[in-house]
Amino acid sequence: MDAPTPLHFQRCSSCGSAVHPPRPMCPVCGSVALAFEESAGEGTVYSSSTVHAREGAYDVSLVDLDEGYRVMTTVTGGGVIGARVHGRVEDADDGPRLVFDP
């Protein structure tokens, strides 16, 4: 079992919108009353594609988190649109990165 994801996002205190990546102002209502919340890391694959690079093929997916925001990420084994996924932090050569498992 992986450790819980330390994924955080902002929530607008005025209109309740989830905001990610972090901004100084809510893109929906313009409020500057934004507070960080911790995400449970549970989401649904919105879209997925395979990038064929010189180093090999890898997955690039957009995942809608249950809290109401979207991230660009990698789904292990390739994303399937509509599938439920769970985020975790993985150690990569260039530092920690967020990945999702089915």
Interface residue list for Zn ion (CB under 5 A): 12, 14-15, 17, 26, 28-29, 31
CB of 86 to Zn ion, least distance (A): 28
CB-based contact 64:43 (threshold 8 Å): yes
CB-based contact 23:10 (threshold 8 Å): yes
Give the residue with the Cβ less far from Zn ion, 17 or 89.
Answer: 17
Give the residue with the Cβ less far from Zn ion, 11 or 99.
Answer: 11
Cα distance between residue 9 and residue 55, in whole Å: 32
Give the residue with the Cβ less far from Zn ion, 29 or 72.
Answer: 29
CB of 10 to Zn ion, least distance (A): 10
CB of 7 to Zn ion, least distance (A): 20
CB-based contact 83:102 (threshold 8 Å): yes
CB of 59 to Zn ion, least distance (A): 32
Give the residue with the Cβ less far from Zn ion, 14 or 47.
Answer: 14
Extended strands (E) in 6-83: 8-12, 18-19, 34-38, 42-53, 56-65, 70-75
